[in-house]
Structure 1
């Protein structure tokens, strides 16, 4: 039986959510049925080392996404894959206009965010007029699916909802070598937040919340880097938040999650937050802002976490204190995530979409 050739498209394999998911899919697709390749605009990123050797990397050596369209189209024309799987919003948008020039190739777009919240530039929004050219569009959450239908008139039958997978084997391997971070104080409750330091992750709101917790023995550990780093550091100093520690990007964030007393997701919007899944995989209870992006699909109230409104800074601060005074069963938290989002469950759904396209 001829194998189905699939080309996945990403800007790079830096350690982000979309990159993690595509790496997982490419690594674990059945080799009896599929031949996966990954086209990168630039061959760089921490996940390159995790990619299996039989996954070919196509490097088009292009720094900017807006300059990538011509080399991407050239590779599709030359290689004539059965399926093109584009996994990054801006590339998805540009590519949609050109799908019909490849009648023998099926195209899938995997959305990474609630589009109406995330895409603000008019020149990119224009391309969503052609989004129905895709044979399938994968939405990670009900919020994302509803947004595509309501704001971009995407045909309902083209959208397939597939939640993100959690690779428990990968996380457990990382946890075997993890130790309690030195910055965690034993006489304090240690809270962890992880994400790109940008407006969408809402760390400004989280700092305002912690300005109400100065008299509590609570430390906030923020992992990540981004364009708002300086602003957030200045905000921390202005508010006098000695109990907030910025750690930058961490190679093994799971040791922070495992030993945390609580994980907080402060985002203004999400796609389907991997870090919320990973916190649960580490057995850590979560408190998440009530924002679009599948939060209510992940959180099982009182089992693996709770949802509150972070814009109510005082109320969210009181919720943190309340949660920290409770105790939670780590195995139940892990099982809550594993039973719904484990790698095998989600990968079966991806394989089904790919196979159905070739019928």
Structure 2
């Protein structure tokens, strides 16, 4: 969303980045031309009345929201504000999978409102074709009514950051090959399967594993790593890092082990850094990105043995015999996505 806001501003539009709470690691990346509006609501679900007041005061020409709970709030706010703002809502993941795992009354209430409220938006977008069709089925929307627009990636910025120094000693020249994974330590990312597969890989060849990210499953994953005999000499989880691209560009392999996604952006970012990739064939997006395995190996979700084999075969193959994944990453450059989003919002590129 920061990339989109910056891109809209670069096209000459006055852009507000309206946040329930203006916190987070990406605020520093917001362009000076973008105005950050802090609703000071804490949680998105509490942002309804502050957003109504914003819409009545500012009367924006168009509004783009992202993630289902924010989308529900945006639709209700526009209606209660009686604003003529054109509203496009964007679904970021495979909603049927998320619904099946929803916990708590508020989460279930949001999903129950999706089929009733999404048709009231002027446009509905999802981040991949599979996610779009999934949303149509879940919300009982007409076939083809959800538009698939891939997320935008600032490839020039990624290239620049990829060449910055990396502090981790494992990624210096002459070291053992490093397998890299990035993502929040949650059920969705299924790092449990990755740890099990990496333990098998270690029995066959020398390698190290870095997992960048933080989350509620850290202690559980650390216990599993200990049970698998993966000490700090072969596995480290440094937490969130500000510049993952410097890590990606020096890793021997990037692995996405997710159970589900919407469009796994980190897979595209790894390819933009030229890093060979292995991914689960999860719903949704991986198969689309890798074009049925043309650019990297796809393995069944949760198949530890298949993941081990794919990692081993990719690490064994000479780098010059692997696909040049940078070519595919070019298809996700921000220019096309920004223009397509502007079109969906009824604005000229």
Q: How does 1:189-268 map to 2 (within 5 A)?
A: 189-215=177-203, 216-242=205-231, 243-268=234-259
User: 2:337 aligns to what?
Assistant: 346
Q: After the TM superposition, which parts of structure 1 deviate over 4 Å for at least 4 consecutive aligned residues?
A: 30-33
Gaps of 5+ in 2: none
Given candidates 111, 117, 121, the residue that maps to 2:91 is 111
Q: 1:220 Cα deviation (Å)?
A: 1.0
Structure 1 residues 267-296: Cα deviation after superposition (integer angstroms, max 9, x where no partner): 111111110000000001110001001111
Aligned positions of 1:35-114 closer than 5 A: 35-101=14-80, 102=82, 104-114=84-94
Question: 1:172: how far off?
Answer: 1.6
**Counterpart of 2:214 in 1: which secondary structure?**
coil
Aligned to 1:232, what secondary structure does the other structure show?
A: helix
Structure 1 residues 82 and 349: alpha-carbon distance in aligned structure 2, compared to 1, 3 A threshold: same
Tell me what 1:145 maps to: 132
C-alpha displacement of 1:98: 4.6
Question: Deviations for 1:107-132, whole angstroms, at most 9, x for unmatched residues?
Answer: 11111111111232321112112111
Q: Which residue of 2 aligns with 1:16?
A: none
Give the unaligned 5+ runs of structure 1. 1-21
Contact 1:303-1:336 within 8 A present in 2 as well: no
**TM-score relative to the length of structure 2:** 0.90
1:184 correspondence with 2:171: yes
Match of 1:130 among 117, 120, 124: 117
1:172 equivalent in structure 2? 159
1:94/1:127 contact within 8 Å kept: no
Change (3 A) 1:94 1:191: same
Give a deviation string over 1:68-97, Cα, whole Å, max 9, x none. 111112211221111111123211123334
TM-aligned CA deviation for residue 148 of structure 1: 0.9
CA deviation string 1:217-275 (max 9, x = no partner): 01111000011111111111122112221111111111111011110001111111110
Distance 2:50 2:121 in 1: 20
CA-atom RMSD in angstroms = 2.1
- Deviation per CA, 1:33-85, whole angstroms, max 9, x where unpaired? 52211111112222222212221111111212221111112211221111111
Count of equivalent residues: 335
Question: Is 1:97–1:127's contact at 8 Å kept on the other side of the alignment?
Answer: no
Aligned to 2:302: 311
TM-score, normalisation: structure 1:
0.87
Deviation (angstroms), 1:99 = 4.0
Question: 1:57 and 1:98, CA in 2 relative to 1: closer, same or farther beyond 3 A?
Answer: closer
* Counterpart secondary structure, 1:259: coil
